[in-house]
Amino acid sequence: MKQPGMSLIVKTVTRLITGFIMIFGLYLVIYGHITPGGGFSGGVVISLALILTLLAFGKEFIDAHALIGDNGMEAVDVFGAFAFLVIALLGYFAGAFFSNRIIGHGEPFHLFSGGIIPFCNLAIGLKVGACLFGVLVALAVFHTQRRHDPSEPREEG
Amino acid sequence: MQDVTVMLYSLIGFMIIGSIVAIETRDLLSSVICVGAVGFALSVINLLLGAPDLALTLVVVEVLTLVVLIRAIRTRRDTYHATSRDTLAIGVVVAGLCFVFTVAYFLLDKLPAFGKPLMLMSEPYLRSGLESNSAVNYVTSILLDFRAYDTLGEATVIFTAIVGAYAVLRKVGRKREAAGNESDR
């Protein structure tokens, strides 16, 4: 095993297209209330961009960046779920949970429209993207743990 | 309209063949790829029937499922062993299929025609969606405003499944790690 990850061709192509995939996923999340898409599919596209990076560059690339590691993804996952719940509970001030009257609706066909729907999309996109990528990171940890012993001791939990 | 029906039937036939191949093949990798092909055909069917949201979600989920499944089966070298066919099992299956088809033949007459659903439930949503929350994409509007509790339940289901996967995978990883460097512990 001379070099982590796949060959140079795969790495170059990954460098070129990962940004576009990520931008497409963000577009699906942010414009989910105007065009087809939404939080779930956009989140899956974002996680696929990260998975492409993981497959091309190997587990060592994930270890070098703390945010896209195992624990960081779990934190983002929990944050997204919590944000969705907070948006649901904020509707209580307007009468009912998930009420769409806490902020204005805006003009149809504009980006700032739909009330709480864009924020719900953002929360679900964060949650889905983080958790689906985190599972693959956990699988990668499960695969590589036996031949690659980390120097720092992992915290208990 | 006729072209759509022809394409639908050919895609459904492709899905049935793919499912049978996925069950019957010996190689685990071929089976996973056949399942992915069935999923892509279902996504094309959704696109033909005018559900781009669903088609998009299905495509990306199929890609993710394929990646995760191939990743998961890569270390398992054992292939699928076909079970022996005895006549009793085949007889039971054939009898069950005959029963299901007989019931379905009499039941499916009562259903409305394909592609013409009774638009009772969706009428109020379609009428009052735009002034209720001014989101143009009605699918998202139903998912996150009218049916937001269902979406919360979905999110809870995904969250629970992912936390369970984390728990199982991390435990195995920790065991391997402990076996790798016992001097640390």
pLDDT of A32 strictly over 80: yes
* Eight-state DSSP code of residue A32: T
Q: Which chain A residues contact residue B181 at CB under 8 A?
A: 149
Q: Which residues of B4-21 are buried (b: 16+ CB within 10 A; e: fewer)?
A: eeeebeebeebbeebeeb
How close does chain B come to A107, measured CA to CA in Å?
A: 7
Q: Which chain B residues contact residue A45 at CB under 8 A?
A: 60
Pick among B157, B162, B171 to test the A interface (most A CBs inside 10 A): B162
pLDDT of A146 strictly over 60: no
B135 contacts A33? CB cut-off 8 A:
yes
Give per-residue pLDDT as tens, B138-152.
888 888 888 888 888
Compute the average pLDDT of residues B54-68.
90
With tokens 């054992």, the residue in question is B78
Helices of type H across chain A: 8-30, 39-57, 59-64, 70-90, 117-144
Domain ranges of chain B: 1-83, 120-185
pLDDT of A1 strictly over 70: no
Give per-residue pLDDT as tens, B12-41.
999 999 999 998 888 888 899 999 999 999
Please, what sign has the CA dihedral across residues B95, B32, B65, A67? Answer: positive
**Percent over 90 (pLDDT), chain A:** 25
Give per-residue pLDDT as tens, A83-122.
998 988 888 777 777 777 777 777 777 788 878 888 889 9
Give the nearest partner residue to B162 out of A33, A77, A85, using CB atoms: A77
What pLDDT sits at residue B10?
Answer: 93
Give per-residue pLDDT as tens, B93-104.
999 999 999 999
How close does chain A come to B43, measured CA to CA in Å?
A: 13
B166 contacts A74? CB cut-off 8 A:
yes
Q: B120 — contact with chain A (CB < 8 Å)?
A: no
Assembly ipTM? 0.77
CB atoms near residue A46 (< 10 Å): 26
Q: B184 — contact with chain A (CB < 8 Å)?
A: yes
Compute the average pLDDT of residues A66-92.
84
Q: B180 — contact with chain A (CB < 8 Å)?
A: yes
How many Å apart are CA A115 and CA B135, to the nearest integer? Answer: 8
Q: Which chain A residues contact residue B170 at CB under 8 A?
A: 70, 138, 141
pLDDT of B79 strictly over 80: no
What pLDDT sits at residue A62?
Answer: 74
Q: B167 — contact with chain A (CB < 8 Å)?
A: no
Residue in chain A lying closest to B130 (CA): A108
